[in-house]
Structure 1
Amino acid sequence: MEHQVMEDKYYIKTKDYLITQKTFFIVKQKNTPYLITKPKPLKKNILSYYESNEYDSHKKTATSLFDKVYHFSRDIMLVVKGRLIKKLFKKPAKVLDIGSGTGEFLLFLKKRGWDVSGYEPSKQIKTHKNDQISYIDLEKDKELEKFDLITFWHSLEHVYDLNKTLFKIKSMLSFGGYVIVACPNYKSWDAQYYRESWAAWDAPRHLRHFSKESIKEIMLRFGFKEAINRPLFLDSIYISIISQKILKSKAPIIKGVLIGLISNLLGFKTKNYSSHVYVFKKAN
């Protein structure tokens, strides 16, 4: 594996700060527009890296001050997501959320008349499935229905086989449909500031890492053309707070908010924010 990493273009060395503390490398490979995490865990082992009570997107209840801040920001983001989708669709349609987590986004849309489906591979979440949501299995289901909207809210960087997933969702998207992708941007100022301690590396759960250019390039390869690109301002603050916790800061929330705000301000000039949300439409 060391020999393989040397053959790749080395980018940064980081760790799994959440569970194992193992070392991972973020590298650039030939003919791959995005960065990848190495070594890549075996598919049969990947879900074990999510088995932690500290994994925020899988928490149903808020117990700490930070949990409450996270849940509050999540509620704000539901409104932001809803407004974006309202601009794309004049009336409720059919949506599939990949990496649906605890289902808040889908329930938000369901209350507004949408036909909602989710895909969530996590074993922890599967034991708490919501009866109001229809779940599909992208891995096993051969004949899948059509959807007007397919979303990846911070999940595209997690999917094990990117090419297979993008090929499949293209066939599942109805004529005139949209794909929404939200993901971190490793060219942001906070990524450069925190370097190996940047929380959005999240190795090895994040198997790949995108910039604005690379997400556009890989989606175009599969026939998706970018229609909208917007910053996610709250993400820089959340990521910076987690990064401060990784650094064992005495005041992670205060320092994280400060760094996150600085990153957003600098993003106005560079157009590289901590995270972006992209809307893609079938190009053919």
Structure 2
Amino acid sequence: MKPFLKTKDFSISGENFELLLDEELEMLVTKPQPKDLHKYYESDAYISHTDASKSLLDKMYQAVKKFSLAQKVSLINKYANENKTLLDFGAGTGDFLLEAKNREWSVQGIEPSEDARARSLEKRMKLLSSIEELPNTKFQVITLWHVLEHLPNLDEQIANILNRLEDDGTLIIAVPNFKSYDAKHYKEFWAAYDVPRHLWHFSKDAIKRVFAKHDMELVKTKPMWFDAFYVSILSEKYKTGKQNFIKAFFVGLWSNSVAVFNGQPSSVIYILKKRP
């Protein structure tokens, strides 16, 4: 692997990290990868574990999240059979599972964060802390919404997840795309690098190659248009110390416009199936 970029943990620790390019897989790897990752999530700044709605940025995040939940359920409905069984891996505070349950899905969720599980339980959605706690069942759809990039021992974890997928089931993954315009624009300040919580940084080719090793085939991709705006706002803050909403809006808008032509949005949803 060769050096690609030096960056830092802007949101919590301030520690420095390096991104190395794995040319074979066409993905970036965070170095070093701390053994105790838990402490890098222990902050109110980590919004997906807190349901925070204090700042204007928090409120924007929650508004987009609420809108996105319905879109996500509409997406999984396209890949449902009569069972409608769903496993959400990295379920956060459980909102997506609640939305799916309200749409007649039978749901299970995995969430390592104790705080996030407690908040989910307050909403009457019980989450498990690890996949080993699941009963010996398989699911029609398994989702990982901005989760894959967080998983240590990547291939081992993918194998464990796929063991829970029905033979005709669908795996749906959403991850940032380091080949997007906003990533290239903000460079080391790009918020979606989010080191060291993000251990891996994927391109479209990386997803194809990583999952090909597990006999999975990429069948479709979808852009996540809102991510370019949210990530640009955070990136502006990391770069300048100010949120610069207007400038961030235009960077996000331009990133999405470029993505229409080159197919490289800020974040991508990948839909994969087992090879026949």
TM-score range, shorter chain: over 0.9
2:29 counterpart of 1:36: yes
Map of 2:102 onto structure 1: 111
Q: 2:85 aligns with which of 75, 79, 94?
A: 94
In structure 2, the residue corresponding to 1:230 is in which secondary structure? strand
Map of 2:208 onto structure 1: 216
2:227 counterpart of 1:243: no
Which one-letter code corresponds to 2:248 in the other structure? Answer: G
CA separation of 1:137 and 1:121: change in aligned 2, threshold 3 A: closer
2:218 counterpart of 1:255: no
> Separation in 2 of the partners of 1:59 and 1:137?
17
Which one-letter code corresponds to 1:88 in the other structure? Answer: Y
Map of 1:55 onto structure 2: 46
CA separation of 1:92 and 1:240: change in aligned 2, threshold 3 A: farther
Deviates more, 1:10-19 or 1:83-92: 83-92
CA separation of 1:59 and 1:71: change in aligned 2, threshold 3 A: same
* Structure 2: gaps of 5 or more residues: none
2:218 counterpart of 1:226: yes
> Separation in 2 of the partners of 1:92 and 1:257?
42
Q: 1:249 Cα shift?
A: 4.9
Deviations 1:61-97 (A, max 9, x none): 4111111111001011112212211222255611111
Alignment of 1:42-81 (within 5 A): 42=35, 45-81=36-72
> Separation in 1 of the partners of 2:92 and 2:33?
22
Map of 1:274 onto structure 2: 266
* Mapped contact 1:117–1:133 kept (Cα < 8 A): no
Deviations 1:158-200 (A, max 9, x none): 0111111111122111121100000000000000000000000
Which one-letter code corresponds to 1:205 in the other structure? Answer: R
Deviates more, 1:114-123 or 1:129-138: 129-138
Map of 2:13 onto structure 1: 20
Map of 2:192 onto structure 1: 200
> Separation in 2 of the partners of 1:258 and 1:32?
32
The root-mean-square deviation of aligned C-alpha atoms, in Å, is 1.8
> Separation in 2 of the partners of 1:253 and 1:202?
20
CA separation of 1:195 and 1:112: change in aligned 2, threshold 3 A: same
Deviates more, 1:226-235 or 1:135-144: 135-144
* Structure 1: gaps of 5 or more residues: 1-7
Which one-letter code corresponds to 2:43 in the other structure? Answer: S
Deviates more, 1:139-148 or 1:24-33: 139-148
TM-score, normalised via structure 2 length: 0.94
Map of 2:155 onto structure 1: 163
* Mapped contact 1:242–1:252 kept (Cα < 8 A): no
> Separation in 1 of the partners of 2:108 and 2:137?
10
> Separation in 2 of the partners of 1:102 and 1:142?
18
Map of 1:150 onto structure 2: 142
Q: 1:143 Cα shift?
A: 5.8
- Tell me how many residue pairs correspond in the alignment: 275
* Mapped contact 2:33–2:196 kept (Cα < 8 A): yes
Q: 1:188 aligns with which of 180, 188, 192?
A: 180
Deviations 1:212-242 (A, max 9, x none): 1111111111111111101110011111011
> Separation in 1 of the partners of 2:189 and 2:166?
40
* Mapped contact 2:50–2:115 kept (Cα < 8 A): no
Deviates more, 1:251-260 or 1:269-278: 251-260
Q: Percent identity?
A: 37
Map of 1:5 onto structure 2: none
